[in-house]
Structure 1
């Protein structure tokens, strides 16, 4: 059952995959491992060990974990580990991803309608700024927020509460927009509203409540919120 929603006062967007297209990085990682499952293995390890950092209280920034996960993925795939130069290039590409085609138009519609827009990403601040600049979408956001400030990765509830606090609104007045089921589930558990952007291959977590909004693109979400 979907959680009913009041009009949100702040919209908080995840970056990776929600706004940014990971396809170029997926191709590059798969090529580095010579394996069509390379990206999926690596990205899963990255998310898993970000949660390990949170649960153990042994924090490393997202880029550091991403680098370590490349070596771990090589072991699990029984592949040659990427060289230091290859790892550097892959992380550089991670920081320079394009936006999905629908993103700028959707964000522009929401901004014009008076919604306050924020980011909340697991990416470290330096990477986040590079990602926003490369994608050409920094201008739409009142503030760009990284979990690095609180040293707790999403889906820890404090990460979502941090975003709501910085926006100056209550969690229930905050809408988290994400393309990952775990991120939607985390936001809902923290008392936020949530919107799921159904990027290809991304499912909702079936054991969590349904979000108030579901849309295939940011422009479709904008139509729902403005309707």
Structure 2
């Protein structure tokens, strides 16, 4: 069976904490902790805005999360340095398995889309710079609806944009909350467990499939 597959971007296709050298140059030995907190906080801010129905695009969430982290670590960066860090999000690298995995999935006849909380233009730029865009048929953003995952409306929107139904549309994400959101909206969902130490939330909703990377996903769908 051929699927219409939506891939989460940050954490699934590219590493959102892959800011290493850039953060180290500006922040020092707390760069890894800072990067993880920054990622977690911007996702939290998107959740808040979705629930409050006070939408601002993901760039705003990212900027405000950066300011929060600077406050936590009692750091001060110039406006130029902050803008430089923000710009680096367009230069994140794809995980090693992503392009080989996407190539195999395309060869198998699946329809592929990047499906992100980020604005479409920003995601397209990121997918271009990471060399992922040529292997996708669509780039779909929640910005079109002005709300965020895991709102069920955004997963319904994914199906409409890909002209798919619940039986043929699949969400692939490394984020358990995204998998749970997709499943609760009726889609099939795959959790990419990118680290052995990662745990899935102990909810009544569980993924249809767990894989370690996109190459394994292609192997399973081809079996």
Same fold (TM over 0.5): yes
Name 2:179's counterpart in structure 1.
184
Is the counterpart of residue 102 in structure 1 residue 117 in structure 2?
A: no
Deviations 1:77-111 (A, max 9, x none): 3x213321121111111111111111111101110
CA shift for structure 1 position 31? 5.3
Aligned pairs for 1:49-128 (under 5 A) are 49-77=45-73, 79-128=74-123
2:215 maps to what in 1?
219
Match of 1:11 in 2: 5
> Gaps (5+ residues) in structure 1?
1-6
SS at match of 1:95: helix
Partner of 1:154: 149
TM-score, length-scaled by structure 2: 0.92
Question: In the alignment, which residue of structure 2 is the partner of 1:170?
Answer: 165
Matched, 1:136 2:131: yes
User: Structure 1 stretches (4+) deviating beyond 6 angstroms?
Assistant: none
8 A Cα contact 1:180 1:202, kept in partner: no
Structure 2 residue ranges without an equivalent (≥5): none
- Tell me, yes or no, if the aligned pair for 2:190 and 2:207 is still in contact at 8 Å: yes
2:18 to 24, 37, 44: 24
**CA deviations over 1:7-30 (Å, ceiling 9, x no partner):** 463111011110113353155346
Work out the CA distance in 2 between the residues paired with 1:174 and 1:30: 40
Aligned to 2:201: 205
Structure 1 stretch displaced more, 101-110 or 193-202: 193-202
Q: Secondary structure at the match of 2:50?
A: helix
> Distance in 2 between the 1:91 and 1:24 partners?
13
State the SS of the aligned residue for 1:64: helix
RMSD between superposed Cα atoms in Å: 1.7
